[in-house]
Amino acid sequence: KAGVTQTPRYLIKTRGQQVTLSCSPISGHRSVSWYQQTPGQGLQFLFEYFSETQRNKGNFPGRFSGRQFSNSRSEMNVSTLELGDSALYLCASSSHLGAYNEQFFGPGTRLTVL
């Protein structure tokens, strides 16, 4: 069974630009969550999608958004990039809604904002 895949793996952008990251969950998983990982703040929850609907949202500004498609694939978008958005963005999939179910993480997308 293929794991969670994230594309691209690495991305370099400049301040003010926008970026779209993609996540393909494990086949059959309907829940996708996104996390931001930085050395200073650690792993922080961005949002969770289930059946194409955002179910939960973390404490991030509106520049961070996402969506989920009918095949459970998910994208997250960051607009008007800031230097502080440089981070590893991790996607996790689960068979059911909620963090009590085992989350399977992808390898992440490393975003660098110059």
Partner 1 sequence: TQLLEQSPQFLSIQEGENLTVYCNSSSVFSSLQWYRQEPGEGPVLLVTVVTGGEVKKLKRLTFQFGDARKDSSLHITAAQPGDTGLYLCARPRNTGKLIFGQGTTLQVKP
Residues that bind partner 1 (CB under 8 A): 4, 33, 35, 42-45, 48, 55-56, 58, 90-92, 97-100, 102-108
Q: How far is 48 from 25, CA to CA, in rounded Å?
A: 12
d(CA 10, CA 24): 16
What's the closest the beta carbon of residue 90 comes to partner 1, in angstroms? 5
Q: What sign does the dihedral 36-62-102-50 (CA atoms) show? A: negative
Other Cβ atoms closer than 10 A to 73: 17
* Shortest reach from residue 80's CB to partner 1, in Å: 24
Smaller CB distance to partner 1: residue 66 or 106? 106
Closest approach of partner 1 to the CB of residue 71, in Å: 21
Q: Which is nearer to partner 1, 13 or 45 (CB)?
A: 45
